[in-house]
């Protein structure tokens, strides 16, 4: 299924980008080649404040008129071109124009003619907006993936070290024994004394306490232990999928990130979501475990020891 989801994300993304760009080109959404009229006030020889009414802007671009105020921007003017500095209030359309021309903070426009306080300008030609955004995404997200992975090394090493201490001292086994009645029911395939149980409990406990940077190393340790019981490397076992379903539900006593953001924005009661998100994530956990247990019996998803192994494993 992951194959289809992956394919779907890419194909839908590329098609949607192409479709939206073709539509924009056919309606000339960015009014390429049309003169835009600005009012300007010189502040010095080559600096000015330029302005236009929002009404004129909306009419020019053929969008619904929403506001009637006047927007003004500082600008640097030379003989026949100008740089308009953008601000927070800049309409989205102009922000897109600036972004597509590679500098999101200013627009470089050509001055066509001046008459009195009016300035007629041509904005840079803007096309293939979505396609360019997709190309940028490919590059920036590839780097992001590596950044995330590299950023994990330190924390990962630390918690795996702590985890090893707990394994060597037998603490993990003690923790596992305490939770045995629940764990044997959720993971009937795993022997109750197996180190995987201890690691999974540590992961779930860390998640519950909102310690997400400790939860990931514990979870990955658990995956390694689960994989040691896997008769067919490269294919997920039932226990792995159930464990993952619990993790994707993200059950936590303290949704720390959401609370922090609420507090930062000035909520009167940032922790009001403690109960509600516990409820939501609790339902999600139950549904995830139930779905994993039911789906594992379906023919399409059944664990089949006869399927050929993945190319990498086969090569060894």
Partner 1 sequence: MIKDILQALSIIAIPLIIAVFVIYAARKKVPVYESFVSGAKGGFEVAIKIIPYLVAMLVAIGIFRASGAMSIFVGALSPLAHLIGMPPEALPMALLRPLSGSGSLGLMTDIMKRYGPDSFIGVLVSTMYGSSETTFYVIAVYFGAVNIYRTRHAVAAGLIADAVGMLGALLICRILFGS
Piece of 74-82, 114-122, 193-201, 293-301 that binds partner 1 (CB under 8 A): 293-301
Distance of CA 237 to the CA centre of its chain: 28
The nearest distance, CB 93 to partner 1, in angstroms, is 14
Which residue from 92, 113, 127, 95 is spatially nearest to 37, judged by alpha carbons?
A: 113
Using CB under 8 A as the binding rule, whether residue 137 contacts partner 1 is answered as yes
Tell me how far, at minimum, the Cβ of 243 lies from partner 1, in Å.
Answer: 8
Identify whether the C-beta of residue 38 lies closer than 8 Å to the C-beta of residue 118: yes
Residues paired with 274 in a beta bridge: none
Backbone angles phi, psi at 283, to 5 degrees: -60, -45
Nearest approach, Cβ of 111 to partner 1 (angstroms)? 32
Stretch that binds partner 1, among 31-39, 56-64, 182-190, 307-315 (CB under 8 A): 307-315
Cα distances (Å, whole numbers) of residue 249 to 59, 243, 271, 285, 289: 47, 10, 20, 5, 9
Could you say whether residue 23 binds partner 1 (CB under 8 A)? no
CA dihedral 142, 147, 150, 155 (to 10 degrees): -130
Footprint on residues 59-118 left by partner 1 (CB under 8 A): none
Residue 51 or 230 with smaller CB distance to partner 1: 230
Q: By CB under 8 A, name the one of 77, 171, 177, 196 that touches partner 1.
A: 171
Q: Which parts of 254-283 interact with partner 1 (CB under 8 A)?
A: 254-259, 261-262, 265-277, 279-283
Interface positions, 146-165, toward partner 1 (CB under 8 A)? 146, 148-150, 152-158, 160-165
Among 14, 63, 67, 125, binds partner 1 (CB under 8 A): 14
- 178 near partner 1 (CB under 8 A): no
In the complex with partner 1, the residue whose CB is nearer, 38 or 240, is 240
- Among 88, 116, 168, 185, interactor with partner 1 by CB under 8 A: 168
The distance from CA 204 to its chain's CA centroid, rounded to whole angstroms, is 23
Q: Please, which residues have CB within 8 angstroms of residue 274's CB and are 6 or more apart in sequence? A: 253, 254, 255, 259
In the window 209-248, what residues touch partner 1 (CB under 8 A)? 209-211, 214, 216-217, 219-221, 223-224, 226-227, 230, 233-236, 240-245, 247-248
**Closest by alpha carbon to 194, among 214, 171, 218, 173?**
173
Task: Kindly tell me which residue out of 145, 177, 191, 193 binds partner 1, with binding defined by CB under 8 A.
Answer: 145
**CA–CA distance, 80 with 60 (Å, rounded to integer):** 22
Q: How far is it, in rounded angstroms, from Cα 47 to Cα 312? A: 63
């Amino acid at each position: 299924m992951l194959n289809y989801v992956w394919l779907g994300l890419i194909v839908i993304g590329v098609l949607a980008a192409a479709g939206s760009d073709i539509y924009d080109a056919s309606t000339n959404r960015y009014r390429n080649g049309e003169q835009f009229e600005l009012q300007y006030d010189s502040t010095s020889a080559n600096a000015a404040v330029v302005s236009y009414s929002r009404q004129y802007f909306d009419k020019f671009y053929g969008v619904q008129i929403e506001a009637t105020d006047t927007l003004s921007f500082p600008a640097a003017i030379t003989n026949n071109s100008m740089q308009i500095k953008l601000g927070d209030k800049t309409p989205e359309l102009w922000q897109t124009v600036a972004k597509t021309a590679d500098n999101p903070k200013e627009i470089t426009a050509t001055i066509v003619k001046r008459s009195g306080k009016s300035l007629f300008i041509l904005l840079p030609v803007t096309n293939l907006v979505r396609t360019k955004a997709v190309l940028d995404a490919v590059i920036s997200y590839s780097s992001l993936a590596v950044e995330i992975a590299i950023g994990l090394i330190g924390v990962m090493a630390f918690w795996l070290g702590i985890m090893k201490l707990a394994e060597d001292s037998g603490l993990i086994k003690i923790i596992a024994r305490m939770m045995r009645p629940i764990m044997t029911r959720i993971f009937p395939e795993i022997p109750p004394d197996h180190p995987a149980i201890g690691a999974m409990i540590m992961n779930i406990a860390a998640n519950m306490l909102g310690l997400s940077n400790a939860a990931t190393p514990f979870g990955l340790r658990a995956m390694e232990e689960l994989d040691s019981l896997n008769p067919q490397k490269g294919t997920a076992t039932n226990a792995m999928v159930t464990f993952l379903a619990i993790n994707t539900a993200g059950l936590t006593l303290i949704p720390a990130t959401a609370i922090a953001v609420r507090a930062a924005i000035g909520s009167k009661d940032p922790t009001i979501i403690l109960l509600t998100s516990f409820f939501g994530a609790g339902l999600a956990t139950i549904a995830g475990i139930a779905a994993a247990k039911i789906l594992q019996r379906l023919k399409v998803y059944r664990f089949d020891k006869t399927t050929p192994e993945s190319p990498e494993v086969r090569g060894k």
